[in-house]
Amino acid sequence: MTYIAKPRLHHPTLETNKVGYTRRDYEGKISTLCAGCGHDSISAAIIQACWELDIEPHRVAKLSGIGCSSKTPDYFLGASHGFNTVHGRMPSVLTGANLANRDLLYLGVSGDGDSASIGLGQFAHAMRRGVRMAYIVENNGVYGLTKGQFSATADSGSKSKKGVINSDSPVDLVAMALQLGATYVGRSFSGNKAQLVPLIKGAITHGGAAFIDVISPCVAFNNHPGSTKSYDYVREHNEAVSRIDFITEREEITAVAQPGEVVDVRQHDGSLLRLRSLHADYDATNRYTAMAYMQEHQARGEIVTGLLYVDPLATDLHTALNTSAKPLNELDVPQLCPGAPALDKLNASLR
């Protein structure tokens, strides 16, 4: 088997969004992942989010590393360019792509092996550079594609399918992203679409480095008793800090909010993120309380999900570098080449 293309027959009654696309237009090839793999649910959430955001599919560039998770960009947004790079190095390629053309939306998809093991360095530096992108880690605590070895996010004490106990401490990418300066940080669960879709929408429209860690059980190698990344385990230990509604400028805000429970955050593109805190005292715009909150709950064995931190006015690497508004890949000789007279002057200064 090489690949499976989806038939492109559309039912005439399918609902279209503002840019005239149906949800089917955001799909890709048929997934070759295991039935029930959490990654497929995340692909579905990405499709839903992009459709709801009225994004033209071809204005998205989707980049990934290597792994089951990194294969998924082939299974959504078939009309956009995708790039399966090398293991753990998606962030640098995405950074370069973003520098070349700031007008596209960048979606980085990675696995926990890809981002927390081999690619930990690139993950960290993309966060601290503020590359504008939605960076999604499909975190299953194992290496899926190479068949079940522990990844660096596996909790210490958790058991592999083969019965091996992991003795290393886990890398917590959310904690790292917060510490490294990411300006939008969330965690979710592949099985919680109601939470995941708005979280992805917020990340896509965010003006800086947005990171979402999505716990995504691997049904083949990490969905057994003893795993802390299984469906059952996550359901039992989930502690949601917030449910977020994503509201674009154009729409009337219809959500009914209880006073004191709602935080509206306006992103740089004008869209609003409405956080419905389950805890009245949770402030998603404070990086330091977010860090403390997350770690407190982690110590109690809880997995905090939701939008943990956002800087709604975040800027990105282009702002820092003061690059031209026109994408660099569209500049040509007049903007780029100083020309022969300048060279003659330069020659004269070198004599």
Partner 1 sequence: MKRIEALNDFVIKFANVNGSGSASANELFAKAILRMGVPVSPRNIFPSNIQGLPTWYEVRVSEAGYLGRRGGIDMMVAMNPQTWDADVAELEPGGYLFYDSTRPLPPSKFRPDITVIGMPLTEICNAVYTDPRQRQLFKNIVYVGALSVLLEIEPEVIEKLFGEQYKGKEKLLASNVQALHLGRDFAKEHLDAPLGIRVKRADKVGDQIFVDGNAAAALGCVYGGATVAAWYPITPSSSVAEAFQKYCGKFRVDPATGQHHYAIVQAEDEIASIGMVVGAGWNGARAFTATSGPGVSLMTEFIGLAYFAEIPVTIINVQRGGPSTGMPTRTQQADIIACAYASHGDTKHVLLFPEDPHECFEHAACALDLADRLQTPVFVMTDLDIGMNQRMCRPFAWDDSRSYDRGKVMTAAELEAGKDFGRYKDVDGDGIPWRTLPGTHPTKGSYFTRGTTRDPYARYSERGPDYIYNVERLLKKFATAATLVPQPVLRPASRKTPLGVIYFGSTSPAMQEALDVLPESGIHLDALRLRAFPFPESVKQFIASHERVFIVEQNRDAQMHNLIVNELDIDPGKLTRVLHYDGTPITARFITAAITKHVTLSMMPRGKTAQAQEVQP
Ligand X SMILES: Cc1ncc(C[n+]2csc(CCOP(=O)(O)OP(=O)(O)O)c2C)c(N)n1
C-alpha pair distances (Å), 26 with each of 62, 176, 273: 12, 31, 23
In whole angstroms, give the CA distance from residue 286 to residue 283. Answer: 6
State the Cα–Cα distance between residues 45 and 38, nearest whole angstrom: 11
At its nearest, how many Å lie between partner 1 and the CB of residue 285?
28
Q: Which residues are at the interface with ligand X (CB under 6 A)?
A: 66-69, 87, 111-114, 138, 140, 142-146, 151, 218
* Nearer to partner 1 among residue 35 and residue 333 (C-beta): 333
The candidate with the shortest Cα–Cα distance to 136, out of 182, 86, 80, 104, is: 182
The one of partner 1, ligand SF4, ligand X, none whose footprint includes residue 143, by CB under 5 to 8 A per kind, is: ligand X
Q: SS3 for 206?
A: coil
Q: Which does 33 bind (CB under 5 to 8 A by kind): partner 1, ligand SF4, ligand X, none?
A: ligand SF4
> What is the token pair recorded at 332?
């040509």
- Restricting to residues 56-95, name those near ligand SF4 by CB under 6 A: 68
* Dihedral pair phi/psi, residue 323, rounded to 5°: -75, 160
Q: Which stretch binds ligand SF4 (CB under 6 A): 88-96, 139-147, 306-314, 319-327?
A: 139-147
Q: How far apart are CA 104 and CA 117, in angstroms?
A: 28
Taking CB under 6 A as the rule, which mask of x and - marks residues 207-246 in contact with ligand SF4? -----------xxxx-------------------------
| Amino acid in position 79 | A
Say which entry of ligand SF4, ligand X, partner 1, none residue 219 contacts (CB below 5 to 8 A, set by partner kind).
Answer: ligand SF4
Rounded Cα gap, residues 44 and 195, in angstroms: 13
> Which of 28, 37, 75, 242 touches ligand SF4 by CB under 6 A?
37
State the minimum distance, in angstroms, from the CB of residue 257 to partner 1: 37
Q: Which is nearer to ligand SF4, 148 or 327 (CB)?
A: 148
Nearest of 114, 92, 108 to residue 46 by alpha carbon? 108
**43/70 Cα distance (integer angstroms):** 11
Binding partner of 151, given ligand SF4, partner 1, ligand X, none, CB within 5-8 angstroms per partner class = ligand X
Question: Which residues of this protein are in contact with ligand SF4, per CB under 6 A?
Answer: 33-34, 37, 39, 68, 140, 144-145, 218-221
